[in-house]
A and B are shown apart, each in its own frame.
Chain A
Amino acid sequence: MSLISVVDDDDSIRESLQGLLESIGFAVETFSSAQAFLASGCHTRTDCLILDVRMPGMRGPDLQRELARRRWPIPIVFITAHGEEDIRPRVLAEGAVDCLLKPFSEEALIHAIHAAIPPSSPKITDM
């Protein structure tokens, strides 16, 4: 089972994503900050990282850069709020799989995760 790690400072987002992804059949770990993720040691198991752009402390793109520096090749799907659309091309250029604008549809999310994780390994069942 693929492990998806979610890093977002907002409780609503963390909890709802955990619920949805588990309902789809992923294993999910959530972290309220980038530092917490780095400290957890989960990176070795994580197949896809869903990462909020704007957070107190280390922001999403900072974590992306840090992972690249540590050469931890984790596929990243960014999620971002209104007013931060301009960050999208930058994070994609630096290797992110996708950058979704909140509120995003389930289809968009699944599509992005599929892009991150080859569809064979996890069993994703369609509705």
Chain B
Amino acid sequence: MYNGSPHRYGPSSTVQCSQAEDAHEAVPAYDEHEVGVSMSDTLPHFPVYGAPRGEANTATVERALGEMQAASDQFRIAIDTIPGLVWTALPDGSVDFLNQRWLEYTGLTLEQASGWGWQKAISPEDLSRLVEYWRSVLASGKPGEIEARLRRHDGVDRWFLFRGVPQYDEQGNLVKWYGQTMDIEDRRRAEEEVKKQTAHLDELFELAPHAVVLVDADISVIRVNREFTRMFGYTPAEAINRPLLDLVAPEERLSEYRNNARMLSSGQKVESETIRRRKDGVRIAVSMTASPVLTAGPIEGYIIYRDITGRKRDEALLAGEKRLLEMIAKGDSLPRILEALCRLVEETAAGSLCSILLVDPNGRQLRAGAAPSLPLEYTQALDGRVIELGIGPCGDALQSKQPVIASDFRTDERWSEEYRALALAYGLRACWSTPILSLEGGALGTFALYYREPRSPTPEEYNVIEQFRDIASIAIERTQAEDALRRNEALLAEAQRLTRTGSFSWRVTTDEITWSEETYRIYELDHWVRPTMGMVRQRVHPTDLPLFDRAVRRATAEGRDFFFEHRLLFPGGAVKHLQVVAHVSGATAAAPLEYVGTVMDVTDRKRSEDALDRARTELAHVSRVTTLGQMTASIAHEINQPLTGIVINGNACLRWLAGESPNLHEAREATRRIVRDGQRAGDVITRLRSLFRREGSPNERLGVNEVVHEVIALTRGEVHNGGATVRTRMADDLPLVSGDRVQLQQLLLNLILNAVEAMSEVHDRPREINISTQRGEGNEVLVAVRDSGVGLDPQGKEKLFDAFYTSKSVGMGMGLAISRSIVEHHGGRLWAASNDGPGATFLFTIPWNAAGEDPGPMCP
């Protein structure tokens, strides 16, 4: 190794594979071999091997040679003792000396290595390069060095720095090359390692998925990576030396400046989320990490930006969506939800005006939904339009059920002149409309974005539109479903209120009971009360409580449905009648027993049933009185006639007997007529007595024929006056029936009087009443009363037996209703049939006592 500089251009600054620049100044004529070398004083004067060129006298040479030889020997010894590999070469480059270390290291002998033999010790890979370089150095006559691998005696190659320095004599002749070969293997390896790492880091820097920028203490850009260029639009050339604050949105500059100052002064990493401005002016949301580079050198810092515009937008969208869904869940009104949705869309899609139109429930017209930023007049102009192609993008979207993009109304001729003029009048140039469809595919409305400049959606905007369209769809469908549900619930509550039917569920094991509003009303408890079985039992009428408990116990023990009626007793003493029906709900063996059922307040029904019973009784009474009145009139007439006869005959008789010559014959005749009429009146009285004689025993055994005869006799006058005749056809083998004589008389009376009435307008045929009796099917007697009257009105036939139904101009219409109730009271049936010919037949059956008795012929 050199401890000093053997020549003026020192080796202290190593320039690999290059020649020292300053050599030109020092040795202007170094290409000439004759140029002498000014040797440093501190170095020995090396002998020159071989014949030097130039002219010198022999003696001097000899002497010099001797001195040189001595010095050379000393030098060689010195050289051989140093650890470095050293060599010398003649001006032509052939090596004339290699020190011991060199020979030991390579395993070559001096003879082998001398001249150009050293080439054997050079790694073949590097040899040609080295030799070529060595020749160029030789030719230049200037120092040179090159790195190449030297092969050790054991065949291992290691990197060495080969350095050659020429020596010139006083005349400037090149006399010798001195060379040194230094082991640089370790250094070289370290350098390669550094180079590799630097390359990796550079790559990392460039390929980092975030924008990375290196700044100096003035926050000027030193270096940027590719992502930086992509994110902010500045190429490295544009960015470098630019103040980083150029990226910062004006409103963020102050806080940004503070951040940077803090980062650089504290040496701490600073993280923040902020807004940056791209080269094109667009603002983007970024998350920023600023970190100082901790070196001894000037202060620098790395700043890493991540583009969080998408994330921010997604977050905002998500938050907005959440807000909307909350509104939907809370049951906000549809207009409010849709308006909030529009506003959110407008925040998300800058410059857009959002509009939602709804399809009218009639399915044919557009209805305004929400469009908070559109001119009201425009929205109103669309409201109510009939949905068809050409009325605007929304109409088309609904018709085709496809998104419709109108990029520019000025040039797009798909829509009517009128519509385009309308849109343009309000400064609307573009509209992207998407149909909002229900899950089933039905059109609910349209979701549209309007712009004031011509535009087409980007794929990103498409996504946003779809996302919001789906929310709108949920909102509309949900609201509609809720409206329907609310309507149904209201309807159900109303129905429950109207029918006084409440519903309940009862989970038996836990005694969890839920009630509908009406159930609360029925039990007269407040809504906030949590119902329990104990509470229900408290309301049950004490008399009915054992029945109630038994019914409930039995049903729950067997897991069966239950149905029963009981009464409630309220503190004020009021009583309600309840009908309870409960179903076992979703019963599986494993599931806890739960009932779902209804309680119906049947108090009114009970009351009206009672009232109806009373009314029926009263009616029957009234009817009987009325019938008696009719019969009385009939009877009075029957008795009045013979009575009148008797009176007149009596007068006549007196006249025949008075005077001088009484006419006994005429008097006798008159008296005979008196007797006859008297008997006739007596007959009427007899029948009258039979009519009332057994009134006190309603369930006597009767012969139906007998009753028929009695009534025919009683109605003789009515029938006669009605211009009608009665014929009978009685079966003579009828068994006795058990019943109320008066009621059956009343029944027949009604039917006969009806028949007379039915024939009152008949003039073209005989007015005939045919009464027949016979055995009916089974154990019953069948009685038929047939007339030749106007017949049955087919429409009135159903109502015939209703109380107060009448086809007559007079009367209350009670007759047939009472008749039917009498027949049914006797266990029979009453019905009417149209005759084949004119008129109608009323038939009724009365069962005879079937208690094992032999129904022999008992009647006259």
Q: Which of A9, A17, A81, A127 is B648 in contact with, Cβ under 8 Å?
A: A17
Within 8 A of B (CB), among A1-50: 9-10, 12-13, 15-17, 19-20, 22-24
Query: Are B636 and A83 closer than 8 Å at their CB atoms?
Result: yes
Within 8 A of B (CB), among A76-127: 79, 81-83, 102-106, 109, 127
CA distance in complex: A102, B655 (Å): 20
Tell me whether B652 is interfacial, beta carbon within 8 Å.
Answer: yes
CA distance in complex: A14, B304 (Å): 140
Within 8 A of A (CB), among B680-711: 680
Query: Are A102 and B644 closer than 8 Å at their CB atoms?
Result: yes
Give the chain A neighbours of B637 by CB distance below 8 A.
Answer: 81-83
Q: Which of A13, A54, A55, A127 is B644 in contact with, Cβ under 8 Å?
A: A13
Q: How far is the CB of B409 from chain A (nearest CB, A)?
A: 92
Give the chain A neighbours of B633 by CB distance below 8 A.
Answer: 82-83
Query: Are B645 and A16 closer than 8 Å at their CB atoms?
Result: yes
Q: Which of A9, A12, A19 is B652 in contact with, Cβ under 8 Å?
A: A19
Q: How far is the CB of A29 from chain B (nearest CB, A)?
A: 17
Query: Are A23 and B641 closer than 8 Å at their CB atoms?
Result: no
Within 8 A of A (CB), among B630-650: 633, 636-637, 640-649
Give the chain A neighbours of B645 by CB distance below 8 A.
Answer: 10, 12-13, 15-16
Give the chain A neighbours of B636 by CB distance below 8 A.
Answer: 81-83
Tell me whether B658 is interfacial, beta carbon within 8 Å.
Answer: yes
Query: Are A19 and B673 closer than 8 Å at their CB atoms?
Result: yes
Query: Are B721 and A12 closer than 8 Å at their CB atoms?
Result: no
* Contact (A102, B640) CB under 8 Å given A12-B645, A12-B673: yes
Query: Are A19 and B723 closer than 8 Å at their CB atoms?
Result: no
Tell me whether B307 is interfacial, beta carbon within 8 Å.
Answer: no
* Contact (A24, B655) CB under 8 Å given A56-B723, A103-B640, A103-B644: yes
Give the chain B neighbours of A24 by CB distance below 8 A.
Answer: 655
Residue of B nearest to A57 (CB): B723
Give the chain B neighbours of A81 by CB distance below 8 A.
Answer: 636-637, 640-641
Query: Are A19 and B669 closer than 8 Å at their CB atoms?
Result: yes
Tell me whether B385 is interfacial, beta carbon within 8 Å.
Answer: no
Tell me whether B720 is interfacial, beta carbon within 8 Å.
Answer: yes
Tell me whether B732 is interfacial, beta carbon within 8 Å.
Answer: no
CA distance in complex: A10, B637 (Å): 11
Query: Are B721 and A56 closer than 8 Å at their CB atoms?
Result: yes
Tell me whether B677 is interfacial, beta carbon within 8 Å.
Answer: yes
Query: Are A105 and B647 closer than 8 Å at their CB atoms?
Result: yes
Q: How far is the CB of A109 from chain B (nearest CB, A)?
A: 8
Give chain B's interface secondary structure class.
helix
CA distance in complex: A127, B720 (Å): 38
Among B655, B658, B721, chain A packs the most CB atoms within 10 A around the CB of B655
Across the A-B interface, how many residue pairs have beta carbons closer than 8 Å? 92
Give the chain A neighbours of B720 by CB distance below 8 A.
Answer: 9, 56
Tell me whether B621 is interfacial, beta carbon within 8 Å.
Answer: no
Chain B, interface size: which category? 20 to 34
Residue of B nearest to A12 (CB): B645
Residue of B nearest to A19 (CB): B652
CA distance in complex: A16, B637 (Å): 17
Q: Which of A15, A79, A83 is B673 in contact with, Cβ under 8 Å?
A: A15
Tell me whether B402 is interfacial, beta carbon within 8 Å.
Answer: no
Give the chain B neighbours of A10 by CB distance below 8 A.
Answer: 641, 645
Residue of A nearest to B677 (CB): A12
Tell me whether B189 is interfacial, beta carbon within 8 Å.
Answer: no
Q: How far is the CB of A83 from chain B (nearest CB, A)?
A: 5
Query: Are B640 and A82 closer than 8 Å at their CB atoms?
Result: yes
Give the chain A neighbours of B655 by CB distance below 8 A.
Answer: 20, 23-24, 127
Q: How far is the CB of A126 from chain B (nearest CB, A)?
A: 11
Tell me whether B656 is interfacial, beta carbon within 8 Å.
Answer: yes
Residue of A nearest to B658 (CB): A127
Give the chain A neighbours of B641 by CB distance below 8 A.
Answer: 10, 12-13, 81, 102
Tell me whether B398 is interfacial, beta carbon within 8 Å.
Answer: no
Residue of A nearest to B724 (CB): A56
CA distance in complex: A9, B723 (Å): 12
Q: How far is the CB of A104 from chain B (nearest CB, A)?
A: 7
Query: Are B644 and A19 closer than 8 Å at their CB atoms?
Result: no
Give the chain A neighbours of B654 by CB distance below 8 A.
Answer: 127
Query: Are B677 and A16 closer than 8 Å at their CB atoms?
Result: yes
Q: How far is the CB of B462 from chain A (nearest CB, A)?
A: 96
Give the chain B neighbours of A13 by CB distance below 8 A.
Answer: 641, 644-645, 648
Give the chain A neighbours of B649 by CB distance below 8 A.
Answer: 15-16, 19-20
Contact with A along B656-669 (1 / 0, CB 8 A): 10100001001001
CA distance in complex: A54, B717 (Å): 10
Q: Which of A23, A55, A104 is B666 in contact with, Cβ under 8 Å?
A: A23
Q: How far is the CB of A12 from chain B (nearest CB, A)?
A: 3
Q: How far is the CB of B626 from chain A (nearest CB, A)?
A: 14
CA distance in complex: A82, B645 (Å): 15
CA distance in complex: A76, B643 (Å): 23
In the complex, 10 of the A-B residue pairs with CB atoms within 8 angstroms, ordered by the A residue number, are A12-B642, A12-B676, A13-B648, A16-B648, A16-B677, A17-B648, A57-B723, A102-B643, A127-B654, A127-B655
Taking A15-B649, A55-B721, A127-B658 as known contacts, 19 extra A-B pairs with beta carbons closer than 8 A to each other, sorted by chain A number, are A9-B720, A12-B641, A12-B677, A16-B645, A16-B673, A19-B649, A19-B673, A23-B652, A23-B663, A81-B637, A81-B641, A83-B633, A83-B636, A102-B640, A102-B641, A102-B644, A103-B644, A103-B646, A106-B651
A-B pairs with lowest CB-CB distance, top 8: A12-B645, A23-B655, A16-B648, A20-B652, A19-B652, A102-B644, A103-B644, A106-B651
